[in-house]
Amino acid sequence: MNSQTGCWAVSALLSLLLAPLLPGIINRVKAFFAGRRGPSFFQLYYDIAKLLKKGCVYSSTATPILRLAPAAGLAALLAGVLLMPFGMNSSPFAFTGDILLFIYLLGFSRISGVLAALDTGSSFEGMGASREMQFSALAEGAFLAVTGFLVILTGKFSLTETLNGFTFGAWSYSGTAMLLIAAAFFLVMLAESCRVPFDDPETHLELTMIHEAMILDYGGPDLALILYGASLKLWLLASFFVLLILPCGMTSTWLNTAIYFVSVGFTAVMIGVVESVMARFRFLKVPQFINAATALAVLAIIFMIVFGEVA
Amino acid sequence: MNNTFLKIKNATAAPLASVPLVSFAEFRDAVKQAVQEHSMRVASFFAMPEENGDHRMTVVLCGDNTDLLYLLSFRAGRRYPALTADMPQFHWFEREIAEQYGIVPENHPWLKPIRFHRTLDNAPDAWGRTDAPTAGVTDYFRMQGTAAHEVAVGPVHAGVIEPGHFRFQCMGENVYSLEIELGYQHRGIEKMLLGGPDKKTQHFMETAAGDTTVASATTYARIMEALCGCTVPGRAQAIRALALELERIANHTGDCGALAGDVAFLPTASYCGRIRGEYLNMTAEICGNRFGRNLVIPGGVQFDIPQTMSEKLLAWLDRIRPELFHALDLFFDTPSVLDRFENTGTVSKEDARAIGLVGVAGRACGLGMDTRQSHPDGGYQLRPIQPLRPANALTGDVLSRAAVRYGEIRHSERYVRDWLKALPEGDVCTELASTPAPDMIAVAITEAWRGELCHTAVTDKNGKFRRYKIVDPSFHNWFGLALALRGQQISDFPICNKSFNLSYCGHDL
């Protein structure tokens, strides 16, 4: 096992451990803006520990889909973890084309949640599922456009090689394009991880929920899996965002890894700031903003092709 | 205008016999003329049983251009043609009467119970039922079609709020119709008030709607003072007005914060939540209770504001003021917030007038009503309150309702300061001269923070309450919320609801 693989393994394990910290950071930033102290950084760990001790209650009208979905959703995300080059270290599981697999693993995780929500037969969950599908169908396009940019930039087709496959040169030759793509992905990240302004993870108002409405019927260990899965998904998307911005420039792998973790934490702070300074969009506006992300990504591709220097 | 009506000033009493008792046709024509030609609104409409088994139906009309209240009665048997057909603002009152006394308004477009209780005299109600119905169990408006779907919310909600049931008929995200069913908070206050006043009466008044305690207690006190003939000292009137405005500021501040919370705009939500507490604590400073319980009693107030406390309160107001307006300005200057509020949940001025919206909701539609101006009483006579300057471009949407609240916070804050700087000298309480006079009718209207609160009391030959009618502003306004939702996105319901912020217990009594 070379040092890259070792570094990746350590980073991946750390990522799995630290994922529930991200919502904690976001909530503390929001609390700071609101003039409150806010919950502990480790609140999600406590919540998950508490939920794991509890039992589950299932509706008698629901099918086994409801019970399978949380595990299936988390399993898909864990598979996604294997492909992500954590800490700018190449994933040992990388293969050509895994970038599409990654996107659709996220998609699988989502569809399992949607099917479970429809399975409950509740009008709230049905509404949540319908919204989730509408918005994620659009967000998928934006996500694909971003990966398209990376593929053209690096000429490679695996997540590891595209995210780690460019140097500082990309910023100096195609700075505008990189900036646009970063903005586009930031929007995708907020939409996919159900954050303000697209969704509000804190709300108690059933009628305005998207993701939260879909998990209303869950409790106990199932809910713990879902909450953990949501934080892991946020971690994956934040990782993607960080690696998309940061070129793999340092000579020391450990230094790269350290920069990566600090950046992921900083991304959470940024999300917290965005959530604090703006209100949530009305639903009619959500598709417009996701489409704007797609447009930015396409614009970035055009800029790069026309003005940039392909690596 | 015609002289059919008995015209009395706010917070005065008149012999019941002086209220003209006319035929139904005469009644309908007179009220119709007043409502349609003189833009008066129905402040109260209630039935009262008579000895021969008939019911005396009395209306109290209130207008912006006169400081008089117009009273008129007719006698109804078991049925009469519904007034709602000509004047939609009667619709909720007629449903209430059908439920309370079993009198059927014929051809009422939507005759359903509103509170789900037995009639006040245990006779069969308008639907022939004699048992105690279960709240919410009734037929609802339904939209047919495979694409239409129904969303039911409540009566148990996520969050610590009162119970109410909301039925949405939707196509996708669009709401075609919302039906609101209340009654879960019904405690039977009007029935328990019969035969009063007694020791419990004050308590019922203060808890009719807990967030409107001062307004409610003041209105009741004015009724008693009118019936007993008592002159309230100026200092007590000033303290009442001051407490009423503090109540208004606290609630409006809380509402603005809650609106911010519903669109996930955190800074204003948190700050307003805390600052609301500051104003409640000011009320507690005066009387020991954050909601002003035990402050206002018939004859005056129970707690004085000494000079040192005035100074302390003024300094306190000075300290909170910049924080409050900073939080509110942040809210109204953020484009993403304005985008959510503009053109959301609009009620047109015509609709607002037709269904009789009052208070904040009415003013937000461009109706200029304010009973502190039009029917000044007590402290508002001693120190007239400046006319409310209407905010720009009031269109009846969520933004307008928020803007009206913002304006009223500023307005009331100034008024409170003015009083604190110069409270009249003297006592704060006098004894009531006597027990209530027999066979009288007394009406008092107070501009509570949601809108006008109207109490009407009728005494029997022993001076006991033969009928005590409470009309909370929420009673007028709940249907406004249902109208506001038509054609809206269902996800905008929470902010529409918060922008009205109506009382469940004030409606259910």
Chain B contact present for A117, CB below 8 A: no
**Is there a contact between B266 and A275 if contact means CB atoms under 8 Å apart?**
yes
Start-to-end CA distance of chain B, whole Å, equals 35
Closest Cα in chain B, distance from residue A36 (Å): 8
Domain, as residue range, for A149 = 3-307
Query: What is the predicted ipTM?
Result: 0.84
From chain B, the residues in CB contact with A130 under 8 A are 172
What confidence tens digit (pLDDT) does each residue in A41-61 have? 999 999 999 999 999 889 888
B21-22 vs B174-181, strand pairing mode: unpaired
* SS3 state of residue B72: strand
Q: Does A207 touch chain B (CB under 8 A)?
A: yes
Reading the block at residue A124, the tokens are 């709230």
Residues sharing a CB contact under 8 Å with residue A195, sequence separation 6 or more, in sequence order = A26, A189, A201, A271, A274, A275
Query: What is each CA distance from A162 to A48, A165, A247, A257, B111, in whole angstroms?
Result: 34, 5, 10, 17, 68
Question: Is A282 close to B492, i.e. CB distance below 8 A?
Answer: yes
Report the alpha-carbon angle B448-B450-B455, nearest 5: 45
User: Do B391 and B407 touch, CB atoms closer than 8 A?
Assistant: yes
DSSP assignment, residue A88? G
Query: Amino acid identity of B151?
Result: V
pLDDT digits (tens, 9 = 90+) for A187-245: 999 999 988 888 888 888 888 888 888 998 899 999 999 999 999 999 999 999 999 99
- pTM comes to 0.90
Identify whether the C-beta of residue A127 lies closer than 8 Å to the C-beta of residue B490: yes
CA distances from A216 to A125, A236, A257 (A): 7, 24, 37
- Whether B492 has its CB under 8 Å from any CB of chain A: the answer is yes
CB distance B151–A35 less than 8 Å?
Answer: no
Q: Output the pLDDT for position B392.
A: 66
**Which of A30, A131, A208 is most worth mutating to test chain B (most B CB atoms within 10 A of its CB)?**
A208
Mean pLDDT of B26-35: 91
DSSP strands (E only) in B109-186? 148-153, 165-171, 174-181
* A242 in Cβ contact with A260 (< 8 Å): yes
Q: What's the number of domains chain A is made of?
A: 1
Domain with CATH 1.10.645.10 in chain B: 189-473
Q: Which residues pair with B41 in a beta bridge?
A: B62
Lowest-confidence range among A139-143, A305-309, B166-170, B438-442? A305-309
Q: What angle do CA B335, B477, B395 make, to 5 degrees?
A: 35
Residue of B65, B59, B24 whose CA lies nearest to B45: B59
Which residues, at least 6 apart from B129, have a Cβ–Cβ distance to it below 8 Å? none
Q: What is the pLDDT of residue B314?
A: 93
Tokens of A31: 């609390």
- Cβ proximity of B117 and B132 under 8 Å: yes
A98-120 helix and A64-83 helix, angle to the nearest 10 degrees: 160
Q: Are B313 and B420 in contact (CB under 8 A)?
A: yes
Q: Kindly report the nearest CA distance between residue A230 and chain B, in angstroms.
A: 19
Among the partner residues A204, A280, A282, nearest to B158 by beta-carbon distance: A204
Least confident residue range of A160-174, B6-20, B196-210, B284-298 = A160-174
Pairing verdict, β B68-76 and B300-301: unpaired
Nearest chain A residue (CA) to B269: A34
Residues B287-340: tens digit of each pLDDT: 999 999 999 999 889 999 999 999 999 999 999 999 999 999 998 999 989 999
With a cut of 90, say whether residue A1 has pLDDT above it. no
Across the strands, what pairs with B44? B60
Min Cα separation B489/chain A (Å): 8
Q: What is the pLDDT of residue A196?
A: 84
CA B155/CA B428 separation, integer angstroms: 43
CB atoms within 10 A of CB B463: 17
Cα–Cα–Cα angle for A254, A259, A262, rounded to 5 degrees: 125
Buried b (16+ CB within 10 A) or exposed e, B245-267: bbbbbbbbbbbbbbbbbbbbbbb
Q: Over chain B, what is the mean pLDDT? A: 90
pLDDT tens sequence across A251-272: 678 888 899 999 999 999 999 9
* Partner residues linked to A196 by β-bridges: none
Q: What is the pLDDT of residue A10?
A: 92
Residue A311: pLDDT band (50, 70, 90) is: very low
Residue for token pair 């989730």: A132
| Binding-face residues of A in 51-110 toward B, CB within 8 A | none
The answer to whether residues B436 and B459 touch, using CB atoms and an 8 Å cutoff, is yes
CATH topology of domain B6-106: Beta Polymerase; domain 2 (3.30.460)
What does the pLDDT average to over B343-372? 91
Q: Show residues of chain B in contact with A123, CB under 8 Å.
A: 149-152
Which helix (H) or strand (E) segment holds residue B45: the answer is strand B41-49
Say how many Å lie between the first and final Cα of chain A, rounded: 29
Model confidence at B1: pLDDT above 80: no
Q: Mean per-residue pLDDT for B265-282?
A: 91
Contact of B173 with chain A, judged by CB distance below 8 Å, is answered with yes
CA A5, CA A7: separation in Å to the nearest integer? 5
Buried-state track A266-292, b at ≥16 Cβ within 10 A, e below 16: ebbeebbebbbebbbbbbeebbebbee
| Residue ranges matching CATH 3.30.460.80 in chain B | 6-106
Note if the bond before B105 is cis, omega within 30 degrees.
no
To the nearest whole Å, the CA of A118 is away from the closest chain B CA by: 14
In angstroms, the CA B249 to CA B246 distance is 5
> A284 at the B interface (CB within 8 A)?
yes
| Contact call for A200 and B151, based on CB within 8 A | no
B384 upstream amide cis, omega within 30 of 0:
no
Instruction: Please say whether the beta carbons of A44 and A28 come within 8 A.
Output: no
β-bridge partners, B151? B168
Query: Is residue B165 within 8 angstroms of chain A, CB to CB?
Result: no
- Retrieve residue B284's tokens: 């507690």
pLDDT band at B8 (very low <50, low <70, confident <90, very high): very high
Residue range B418-441: average pLDDT? 88
Residue B166 DSSP label? E
The per-residue pLDDT for A12 is: 94
Provide the number of CB pairs (under 8 Å) joining chain A to chain B: 86
Tokens of B377: 């009483």
Q: Do the chains contact at B266 and A281, CB–CB below 8 Å? A: no
pLDDT band of A186, cuts 50, 70, 90: very high
DSSP string for B398-453: HHHHHHHHHHHHHHHHHHHHHHHHSPPPS-SB---SSSPPTTEEEEEEEE-SSSEE
Question: Rounded mean pLDDT of B126-154?
Answer: 85
CB-based contacts of B26, cutoff 8 Å, min separation 6: B4, B74
Amino acid identity, position A187: L
Residue with tokens 């003013």: B363
Interface contact B158, partner A, CB < 8 A: yes
What are the φ/ψ torsions at residue A161 (nearest 5 degrees)? Answer: -70, -30
Instruction: Please give the Cα distance from A260 to A82 (Å, whole number).
Output: 17
Question: Is the Cα torsion angle B270, B276, B278, B280 positive or negative in sign?
Answer: negative
Categorize the per-residue pLDDT at A296 as very low, low, confident or very high, splitting at 50, 70 and 90. very high
Closest chain A C-alpha to B153 CA, distance in angstroms: 9
| Cα torsion through A37, A42, A47, A48, rounded to 10 | 160
Phi, psi of B86 (to 5 degrees): -90, -35
Of residues A202 and A147, more confidently modeled: A147
Structure tokens at B43: 């402040």
Q: What is the mean pLDDT of chain A?
A: 90
Say yes or no to pLDDT of A248 above 80: no
Q: How far is B405 from chain A (nearest CA, A)?
A: 19
Q: Residue A204, exposed/middle/buried by CB under 10 A (0-12, 13-18, 19+)?
A: middle
Contact residues on chain A for B271, CB-CB shorter than 8 A: 34-35
Nearest residue in B to A207, CA atom: B491
B186-206 mean pLDDT:
90
Neighbours of B28 (CB within 10 A): 18
Q: Which residues contact B422 (CB under 8 A, 6 or more apart)?
A: none
> Could you give the CA distance from residue B340 to residue B434 in angstroms, rounded to a whole number?
55
For position B60, what pLDDT does the model report? 94
- Residues contacting B333, CB < 8 A, separation 6+: none
B189-473 topology per CATH: Cytochrome-c3 Hydrogenase; chain B (1.10.645)
